[in-house]
Copies of this chain bind each other. A is one copy, B any other.
Amino acid sequence: MTLSHPQPFALAIHGGAGTIKRSALTPLLTEGYHAGLRRALAAGHEVLADGGSALDAVTAAVMALEDEPLFNAGRGAVFTAEGTQEMDAAIMDGRDRSAGAVAGLFGPRNPILAARAVMEHSEHVLLIGEGALDLCRRQGLPMEDAPYFFTQPRWDALQAELERRRSGAPEDNSDGGADQRRHGTVGAVARDRDGNLAAATSTGGMTAKAKGRVGDSPVIGAGTFADNITCAVSATGHGEHFIRRCAAHEIDARMRWAGQTLDRAAGDVVAELGVIGGSGGLIAIDRDGRVALPFNCSGMYRGAIGADGLPMTAIHREEYRMALGSEDQSFQTPS
């Protein structure tokens, strides 16, 4: 797959962005991330190759990322300052812009299914807290308790952040700590054989976030957006900036009203976010199946797969790994 060429169907995913320190990534951990991304690509590709919808493909890919504890969504979500977990998710269908989103949720095994339930089984777009949970129970979504979602590394990260706050030490960003704390999100965008687009995003939010803090993921037009006419987008980054810039919808606007390509619009929006302190990135796909994966920090866990079924995954810049082990030299990161 060459990302800048049209594809009959294609899928792109991300598992968060930030200052990803190479030295902190052991070979084993690095392989774990690549394997997790490949599983998600395979899950979405299977749907698309079978003639399934973009909506089902992004759902399947995000579920796989939620189930993987390495990524900050579903199992392995980060902890709030109070030691609880609050998850947000959104999904949007480019056919008619129908959308569903949840925020401040704990319980459903796959928060993306909660967002989809809002879209398909309520007259609403955004449901929060207990109200969202009620819908999930009525729809019979699989629920899990705290032990399922708990992971030791996330818990340790919370303790370290709380200890830093107690000590009054400044946020040390030399190892990407502050960025990493903010950037955990997973997402998927897809184009199916029928030319339909869809986007899905899911997150545990920021480590040690204030209770009730909601980032850009469940905000339609900020962290998640899809319209068949232009593009599907899923973002990851310093959510507050992405909300203020209406990041995902801004890409739609530049394609629609200024005639920009996906590559140009997505790249510029991410670059501009970087200038104002909004570090992060996003994945985007256009109506012809072209993919853009721009980010303005040192790394973004990401991957893409097209009709040829060869998954490409990457963490840092200019370092793509293909399933067959060869480097795709023709590939250029679009950012």
- List residues of A whose CB falls within 8 A of some B CB: 97-99, 103-104, 122-132, 134-135, 210-215, 219-222, 225, 239-240, 243-246, 249-250, 252-254, 256-258
Task: Please measure, in the bound complex, the distance between the C-alpha atom of A231 and the C-alpha atom of B222, giving whole angstroms.
Answer: 18
Residue from B213, B221, B244, B254 within 8 A of A257 (CB atoms) = B254
Residue from B123, B131, B212 within 8 A of A130 (CB atoms) = B212
Task: Please measure, in the bound complex, the distance between the C-alpha atom of A97 and the C-alpha atom of B81, giving whole angstroms.
Answer: 27
Task: Please measure, in the bound complex, the distance between the C-alpha atom of A167 and the C-alpha atom of B211, giving whole angstroms.
Answer: 40
When the two chains form their complex, are residues B127 and A129 in contact, meaning their CB atoms are under 8 A apart? no
How many copies of this chain sit in the oligomeric assembly? 2
When the two chains form their complex, are residues A127 and B210 in contact, meaning their CB atoms are under 8 A apart? yes
When the two chains form their complex, are residues A221 and B240 in contact, meaning their CB atoms are under 8 A apart? no
Task: Please measure, in the bound complex, the distance between the C-alpha atom of A225 and the C-alpha atom of B219, giving whole angstroms.
Answer: 14
Contacts of A220 in B (CB 8 A): 219, 222, 243-244, 246
When the two chains form their complex, are residues B212 and A125 in contact, meaning their CB atoms are under 8 A apart? no
When the two chains form their complex, are residues A212 and B249 in contact, meaning their CB atoms are under 8 A apart? no
When the two chains form their complex, are residues A126 and B210 in contact, meaning their CB atoms are under 8 A apart? no
When the two chains form their complex, are residues B97 and A244 in contact, meaning their CB atoms are under 8 A apart? yes
> Given that A243-B99, A243-B220, A246-B220 are contacting pairs, would A212 and B253 also be in contact in the complex, using a CB cutoff of 8 Å?
no
Contacts of A97 in B (CB 8 A): 244-245
> Given that A220-B219, A245-B97 are contacting pairs, would A127 and B212 also be in contact in the complex, using a CB cutoff of 8 Å?
yes
* Nearest B residue (CB) for A123: B240
When the two chains form their complex, are residues B212 and A128 in contact, meaning their CB atoms are under 8 A apart? yes
When the two chains form their complex, are residues A240 and B210 in contact, meaning their CB atoms are under 8 A apart? no
> Given that A220-B222, A222-B220, A250-B253 are contacting pairs, would A104 and B125 also be in contact in the complex, using a CB cutoff of 8 Å?
no
**A60 CB, nearest partner CB in chain B, Å:** 23
Could you name 7 residue pairs across A and B whose Cβ atoms are closer than 8 Å?
A99-B243, A124-B213, A126-B213, A220-B222, A246-B246, A246-B249, A249-B250
Task: Please measure, in the bound complex, the distance between the C-alpha atom of A249 and the C-alpha atom of B220, giving whole angstroms.
Answer: 11
> Given that A126-B219, A257-B257 are contacting pairs, would A131 and B246 also be in contact in the complex, using a CB cutoff of 8 Å?
no
When the two chains form their complex, are residues A244 and B213 in contact, meaning their CB atoms are under 8 A apart? no
* Nearest B residue (CB) for A105: B212
> Given that A129-B129, A244-B99 are contacting pairs, would A210 and B124 also be in contact in the complex, using a CB cutoff of 8 Å?
yes
**A231 CB, nearest partner CB in chain B, Å:** 13
When the two chains form their complex, are residues A131 and B210 in contact, meaning their CB atoms are under 8 A apart? yes
Contacts of A132 in B (CB 8 A): 212
- Closest 9 CB pairs between A and B? A131-B212, A253-B253, A257-B257, A131-B211, A221-B246, A126-B214, A257-B258, A97-B244, A246-B249
Most buried by B among A130, A210, A239: A210
